[in-house]
Homo-oligomer: A and B are copies of this chain.
């Protein structure tokens, strides 16, 4: 089925999303991504990516007829722009080094047609880190998680086991605590950890993290 991306500008009132998705349900469209953009001093917008057999002009036409919809624009899909995501979580010093390795390696692959973005959050505290790890499987397009710190265990380890159970791949820096034992792969040098993270998700690389299970570098 052909994929499409549209941006609808809508009235700021309850039920708008329900009315917009009604049009897509009518055409058996498979919605792949949706974002609500609602910043102060801006009109509310709903961005949608979906696959449908119905010609896009027909769907745009029907969306324009929905009460409260002010404008409908066809857009380029996010997936094509921002692509696969790697998320790096941990302490600022290490997250910065892993990010550096990952960004420079992503650059080399993106030049050859990949679309890999590198997202980070520096955090402190077992509870906050565990929550961030668990949220990773709810974020769109995330392919791999890197844990970058000096000491991580307890709740964070449980969270790593949970997300690996859901199919997320995890690289851990070599560090104190039980998180390294729960990861797919352990790397000591943070720059190399970032590089390997990108190699593991790039179609333009030959690195298979599944063949590196429980290895330590």
Binding site for B on A (CB under 8 A): 7, 14-15, 17-18, 21-22, 24-25, 28-42, 45, 47, 75-76, 78, 81-83, 91-93, 95-97, 99-100, 103-104, 106-108, 110-111, 115-124, 128, 131-132, 135, 137-140, 166-167
Contacts and interface: CB of A to CB of B under 8 A. Distances in A.
B135 A82 contact: yes
A29 B14 contact: yes
Contacts of A34: 17, 34-36
Instruction: Give this chain's copy count.
Output: 2
B166 A42 contact: yes
Contact of A138 (B22, B31, B78, B116): B78
B95 A103 contact: yes
Contact of A106 (B83, B111, B122): B122
Contact of A45 (B31, B103, B120, B138): B138
Nearest to A33: B36
Q: Is the interface of A mostly helix, strand, loop or mixed?
A: mixed
A6 to B, nearest CB: 11
Contacts of A100: 96-97, 99-100
A167 B25 contact: no
A153 to B, nearest CB: 20
A46 to B, nearest CB: 9
A16 to B, nearest CB: 8
The 4 A-B residue pairs with the shortest CB-CB distance in the complex, in nearest-first order = A92-B107, A107-B122, A15-B25, A117-B121
Given A35-B34, A104-B92, A120 B99 contact: yes
Contacts of A118: 99, 119-122
A18 to B, nearest CB: 4
Nearest to A93: B104
A36 B32 contact: yes
Contacts of A37: 137-138, 140
A140 B47 CA distance: 11
Indicate the member of A82, A117, A122 with the most B CB atoms within 10 Å. Answer: A122
Contacts of A167: 39-42
